[in-house]
Structure 1
Amino acid sequence: MVEPAETPGPRVVEPAETPSRVDAAYVEALLRWVTSSSGETASALAPFTGDPLPAVPQSSAADVRAAAARARSAQAAWAALPLAERLRPLIRFAELVLKEKDRLLDVVQWETGKSRVHGSIELLGLPAVTAHYAHNAADYLAERPVLSGTPGLVRTRVAHRPKGLVGVIAPWNYPLFLAVGDVIPALVAGNAVLSKADSQAPLSLLAARELAARAGLPDDVWQVVAGRGSVIGPALIDEVDHLAFTGSTATGRELAAACGRRLIGTSMELGGKNPMIVRADADLDAAVTGAVQACFSNAGQICIGIERIYVHESRYAAFVDAFALATKGIRLGAAYDFSVEMGSLTSAEQLEVTRRHVDDAVAKGAKVVAGGRARPDLGPLFFEPTVLVDVTPAMTAYADETFGPVVAVYPVVDDEDAIARANDTDYGLSASIWSRDVETARLMAARIRAGSVNVNDGYVAAIGSVSAPMGGMGASGVGRRHGPDGLLRYTETQTVATQKRALPYPVKPKGFLAAGAAALRAQLAAARLRNRRSTR
């Protein structure tokens, strides 16, 4: 058993077993959005208390097919609406999210065990994504002219058509931002959506679905099914035209293979073992504050969170001391208010992974400088925010994703060492660099193999920039959410080439070749000139 260096702050508030704003009538209203005829139900456990959450109807493969059929029947009429009319209920939905924020946060905390502040960050992401696409979708989806092969004779335009039916499978750790945040652009693009509610946090998704109905979204255009992935996942993939998935790399590989057999597109955000680099010139206080946020938000259960920190050897000891002290000061507990900073882990499985990684590291010689143990006195799934040093490649926590409140800190000799070690992973989701020399940090960022790199921030700057694409390289995924990519992934690109008149056929081969060669020589000469100018 690992003994903590010091116990974090005490539990501040004794939580109610059930949030006051979530009563039986409200839950019953949410459950009607699940397509289910099986008669089966399933309940997860509330992380704060270990008590059962409400029983949720379970969908069968036949239910998935029925939901998909209803969605497809509604999709054509939805896509035929002008973009402004599709946006109207989605904007209203975002307004209702803000209006109903307190009850939504109660539901999210009840199902996930996260702190109120981390739930708030998640919730605010929905109106942010909606506002972005409301402002920019017309430009992203606009039909545009391109240069044709025979200017003057052929007019060529490129358009974006909806895929049809989009499947969304999202995880339990961010059941609003990741689940509904992927649904919004799919609907904006003119698709219908078939969502699989996560078994741990189905009510969060259903609460959003209920608000969307109140906002005026047609009932059939967004369908929800619930159940184990092994039972209804294959049926969902068989029915959709594109799959958006957020989850583990192992599951992502299986789903990608299934989608590949059907030749449908996928966009996937998967796992990460994200690095943070602290250069010799970094503002140490700022780096410590940033590390606390980046490592322990959502109890470390976040794909883009930091699990590895590389500190220049001249600042290593000072950083470790300051970071350990700050970590010990985190207020840990269960409360449906803002009195605590870090909540619970969400499942017994995640608690076991976290405990196993820490115990394995300590058994093989690592040192715990903050945290290091479970806290059953606070609730069944609490684990202290933990900082490890002297972690080696022989330890599981060195390279495997923990997905819990555990981070290892390493000294490095220089920037080259830091970059090499940051890139020493199959993952490539997110990274962080801390330095007063922002230009040097940006040059370093270009050499980090990650979908996003934050300079003087842990991860919020990039994920909060919803105009910019977000996603991973390598084993961290394919495709991007947010920005134009996050919308256009749900469309098929179509080229329409229109000739003013038909070309004579058969053409005269000799004349055709000479004319074509002359035109291409002119284009290549222009390209050569432009290339010379751009390299001066």
Structure 2
Amino acid sequence: MPDVAQITVAPARIAELTALIRATGTETRTTVTPLTGADVATIPVSTEQDVLDAFEAARVAQRGWARTPLRRRTKALLKLHDLILTHQRELLDLVQLESGKARSHAFDEVLHTALTGRYYGRRLSRILGPHRRAGAYPLITGIRQYHQPKGVVGLISPWNYPLSMALVDGLAAVAAGNAVVHKPDSQAPLTALAIIELMHRAGFPRDLWQVVSGAGSVIGSTIIDHADYICFTGSTATGKRIAAQCSERLIGCSLELGGKNPMVVLPGADVEKAVEGTVNAAFSSAGQLCVSIERIYVHDSIYEQYRDALAERLARVSYGANADWEVEMGTLVSPAQLATIEKHVADALDHGASLVSGGRARPDIAPWFHEPTVLENVPESALCFAEETFGPLVSLYPYRSVGEAVAMANDTVYGLNASVWGPVKQARKVAPKIKAGTVNVNEGFAATFGSIGAPMGGMKESGTGRRQGAEGLLRFTEVQSVAVQRVMPVGGPAAVPKRTFAAAITVGLLLLRRFTRKA
């Protein structure tokens, strides 16, 4: 198998990338790769003044960018699409180096970012308008709806998808005419910096996207205090604090937060396909994915068949911490993530759960690697019954009726993603009954995640707002209605008595109601 030594970034290249961070102080921090635990880069840390300077520069750039014709923004978006695909080798190396995920899962991020640039590049004018709307009086009142940019968007992105989550939200923000002040996660800044450099090559102004570095607890509040809108991906606990701080300033925010995502395997499902789907749905990026499946409900008529087939398939999963495209699961990102899954597994077993597959850390593969693990008979008292693990751990539960399965799937404070496996006609009836922002039929998460035209986001404590689709762009705008009144005022001609005008309007409305078609 290819050696991890294939995944490297030259020191000179690291210096080029870190120079994009706005940081004037002397404080630094060192990042490490989960592939080996070795040091990767020395990252400068931004001061509070650096953050303020970033906002000042971003505001200047945004004013010019907001006046830029949509056709120029479109050209830059489509150019970025091409650059991402042609520079994917470096992007793949950086994603793996900073996150530890398998090569094929790193490619998911490359594909997602390229498709996002293509989607908005092809639809920008159509979505942003302006659009005509029905006026108070036909022909007399003309209405146009505009979408004005918010201003400067504060973007706080996570470590688990260092390329995709660093770009796709901010790219929609700048496409809508905003500037961005971005704090990538301290574990994975290089990937974000590489994609931002490609944005410069694509034609986006250099000052339009400012990057600052540091702990969220230190500079995150400063970002929220000065942004016109906040976009955050991370934990529900942190998201609640951000929402509270945003509310004090009456600014909007979009938050993609935690999940305890269910899969329902219906009677009549193809067990072999459902098992293969489970490997992707639950163990892509080592389960460190907000939409990853952690709870699986299987009809009791096929429960044992599914359980045994899943255990057999996981015994053949290809592990690795290298550039081999055939590796099916990479490593966890940090000792903290490893500690969480070990805690959840041990706690569940202590409370009476049974181990179906996996259950062990594997430092022989990578320092923080953990086998994909399946449990059954998990009681409600176990931590992993309701808490998000965010790692390669799933629990199996049999059910008797589909109604019971839906009720169990919905018995959570979260509502991010769900998966339903079975005959399509039956599965399509079940899917809308699950309270989740995205539901995939005969797929784990990739069908909705990869469909850039489809909105993606959470219900309940899984967040607010949507990325992707028109909604993912319009959240970064303020809706403005501009009316032009012709012939007479809305209140009627001055020469016509008010009572007469009211009677005429009443007759007109009744006639319109009778003779116009339903909308």
TM-score (norm 2): 0.96
Aligned with residue 329 of structure 2, among 339, 342, 346 = 342
CA distance in 2, matches of 1:252, 1:219: 29
Q: Deviations over 1:254-277 (max 9, x none)?
A: 111111111111111111111111
Matched letter for residue 60 of structure 2:
S
1:498 matched to 2:484: yes
SS in 2 for 1:44: strand
Partner of 2:355: 368
- 8 Å contact from structure 2 (residues 84, 198) kept in 1: yes
**Paired residues, number:** 516
- 8 Å contact from structure 1 (residues 13, 333) kept in 2: no
Partner of 1:196: 183
How far is 1:54 from its partner? 0.6
How far is 1:93 from its partner? 2.1
CA distance in 2, matches of 1:506, 1:418: 68
How far is 1:230 from its partner? 0.8
How far is 1:507 from its partner? 7.7
SS in 1 for 2:434: coil
Partner of 2:258: 271
Matched letter for residue 438 of structure 2:
S
- 8 Å contact from structure 1 (residues 275, 432) kept in 2: yes
Q: Deviations over 1:126-161 (max 9, x none)?
A: 111111111111111111111111223211111111
Give ranges in structure 2 of 5+ residues lacking alignment: none
Identity of aligned residues (%): 46
Matched letter for residue 416 of structure 2:
L
Kindly report the root-mean-square deviation, in angstroms, between the aligned alpha carbons of the 2 structures.
Answer: 1.7
Partner of 1:255: 242
Partner of 2:500: 511
1:61-76 residue pairs with structure 2 within 5 A? 61-76=48-63
How far is 1:525 from its partner? 5.1
1:364-513 residue pairs with structure 2 within 5 A? 364-436=351-423, 438-501=424-487, 503=489, 504=493, 508-513=497-502
How far is 1:502 from its partner? 5.2
Partner of 1:186: 173
Partner of 1:19: 7
Q: Deviations over 1:453-478 (max 9, x none)?
A: 11111111111111111111111111
Partner of 1:331: 318
CA distance in 2, matches of 1:479, 1:385: 32
Aligned with residue 65 of structure 2, among 68, 72, 78 = 78
Partner of 2:346: 359
- 8 Å contact from structure 2 (residues 77, 118) kept in 1: no
How far is 1:526 from its partner? 6.6
| Larger deviation, residues 148-157 vs 361-370 | 148-157
- 8 Å contact from structure 1 (residues 370, 387) kept in 2: yes
Relative to structure 1, the CA distance from residue 288 to residue 259 in structure 2 (aligned partners, 3 Å threshold; closer, same or farther) is: same
- 8 Å contact from structure 1 (residues 13, 339) kept in 2: no
Matched letter for residue 105 of structure 2:
H
Higher relative contact order (CA 8 A, sep 6+): 1
Aligned with residue 43 of structure 1, among 3, 27, 30 = 30
Q: Deviations over 1:214-242 (max 9, x none)?
A: 22221111111110001111111112111
- 8 Å contact from structure 1 (residues 272, 304) kept in 2: yes
Relative to structure 1, the CA distance from residue 362 to residue 523 in structure 2 (aligned partners, 3 Å threshold; closer, same or farther) is: farther
| Larger deviation, residues 219-228 vs 145-154 | 145-154
Q: Deviations over 1:374-413 (max 9, x none)?
A: 1122221100000101011111111110000000011000
CA distance in 2, matches of 1:523, 1:359: 70
CA distance in 1, matches of 2:201, 2:291: 33
Relative to structure 1, the CA distance from residue 143 to residue 394 in structure 2 (aligned partners, 3 Å threshold; closer, same or farther) is: same
How far is 1:50 from its partner? 1.4
Q: Deviations over 1:396-444 (max 9, x none)?
A: 11111000000001100011111111111111111111112x1221111
Partner of 2:196: 209
How far is 1:186 from its partner? 1.1
CA distance in 2, matches of 1:507, 1:469: 50
Relative to structure 1, the CA distance from residue 515 to residue 406 in structure 2 (aligned partners, 3 Å threshold; closer, same or farther) is: same
CA distance in 1, matches of 2:501, 2:255: 46
Q: Deviations over 1:475-530 (max 9, x none)?
A: 11111111110111111111001112452569843234323433444455579x84
CA distance in 2, matches of 1:513, 1:502: 14
SS in 2 for 1:49: coil
- 8 Å contact from structure 2 (residues 77, 120) kept in 1: no
Matched letter for residue 459 of structure 2:
M
1:321 matched to 2:308: yes
Q: Deviations over 1:9-40 (max 9, x none)?
A: xxx55422x833x1011000001110011221
Partner of 1:9: none
Aligned with residue 164 of structure 2, among 162, 177, 181 = 177
Partner of 1:121: 108
Give ranges in structure 1 of 5+ residues lacking alignment: 1-11, 532-536
| Larger deviation, residues 32-41 vs 498-507 | 498-507
- 8 Å contact from structure 1 (residues 169, 245) kept in 2: yes
Relative to structure 1, the CA distance from residue 74 to residue 502 in structure 2 (aligned partners, 3 Å threshold; closer, same or farther) is: farther
SS in 1 for 2:389: coil
CA distance in 2, matches of 1:31, 1:393: 46
Q: Deviations over 1:304-336 (max 9, x none)?
A: 110011000000000000011111211112112
SS in 2 for 1:446: helix
